Homo-oligomer: A and B are copies of this chain.
Amino acid sequence: MAQKETVERILDAAEVLFAERGFAETSLRTITSAAGVNLAAVNYHFGSKKSLIQAVFVRFLDPLVDEIERQLNQLQAEKERLTVEDLLQVLTSSVYEIHGRGSNRATSFMRLLGLAYTQSQAHLRKFIGERYGNAFQHYASHLKPALPGATAADLFWHTHFALGTAIFTMSNFDALRAMSENDTGERTPVDFIVSRLTAFMAAGLHNAAHE
């Protein structure tokens, strides 16, 4: 009992702090003191800082990937060919399904996903690739029929352009929203941003097919 509590307190604190400052910039001492546990607890329960980072992602990605898979299968049972808009919708509604609409946890997670790409944590990218590579391939395989006429190179690059748009927006979410608040004078609702973002990605992706 006491163990589980400690493990989860560490994961909770690490998730928030990593998202705020990045991995290298967050020390184990910061995490453990925020979690109210002893410094040595991380190495006792997780083995190392690297393993802790991976554990944070597993706790988040495992249920999300399952949900995406579930929605994908359900949608495929209804219609044979999925559109780009369908595929993007699966992503956003999966995140919404697992955590509330625009919850703090969801934005934390978005930041973390962005950091996984941009920070120099080779072990993490390798780990994520091995654990979730198949799920990603499965999702991406639906894009090919959704964008007839696109070559393999087109598909690859446009997928990653879209991915980049999303990840950049995610990982700078708070900063961007603050800037736009200064700019336009009002706070943009999350739903507005998400719908704009998916529309932007869809437009770019469609561009891959008819050229």
The answer to whether the Cβ of A201 comes within 8 Å of any Cβ in the partner chain is yes
Q: Given A164-B169, A203-B206, A204-B204, are A184 and B152 neighbors across the interface (CB < 8 Å)?
A: yes
A46 contacts which chain B residues (CB < 8 A)? none
Q: Which of these, B168, B188, B207, contacts A164 with CB under 8 Å?
A: B168
The answer to whether the Cβ of A153 comes within 8 Å of any Cβ in the partner chain is yes
| Binding site secondary structure of chain A | helix
Closest Cβ neighbor of A200 among chain B residues: B204
Closest Cβ neighbor of A197 among chain B residues: B161
Q: Given A22-B120, A119-B118, A168-B164, are A199 and B184 neighbors across the interface (CB < 8 Å)?
A: no
Q: Which of these, B172, B188, B193, contacts A117 with CB under 8 Å?
A: B172
Q: State which residues 184-202 of A face B: CB under 8 Å.
A: 184, 188, 192-193, 196-197, 199-201
Bound: A156/B179 CA distance, A: 9
The answer to whether the Cβ of A81 comes within 8 Å of any Cβ in the partner chain is no
The answer to whether the Cβ of A158 comes within 8 Å of any Cβ in the partner chain is yes
Q: Given A153-B184, A184-B152, A188-B153, are A196 and B24 neighbors across the interface (CB < 8 Å)?
A: no
> Smallest CB–CB gap between A136 and chain B, Å?
12
Closest Cβ neighbor of A207 among chain B residues: B203
19 further A-B contacts with Cβ under 8 Å, apart from A154-B196, A161-B165, A164-B165, are A25-B120, A118-B171, A119-B119, A152-B184, A153-B184, A153-B188, A156-B179, A156-B180, A156-B183, A157-B188, A157-B196, A158-B200, A160-B176, A161-B168, A162-B165, A164-B167, A165-B168, A203-B204, A203-B207
A interface residues (Cβ-Cβ under 8 A, vs B):
21-22, 24-25, 114-115, 117-120, 152-154, 156-158, 160-165, 167-169, 171-172, 176, 179-180, 183-184, 188, 192-193, 196-197, 199-201, 203-204, 206-208, 211
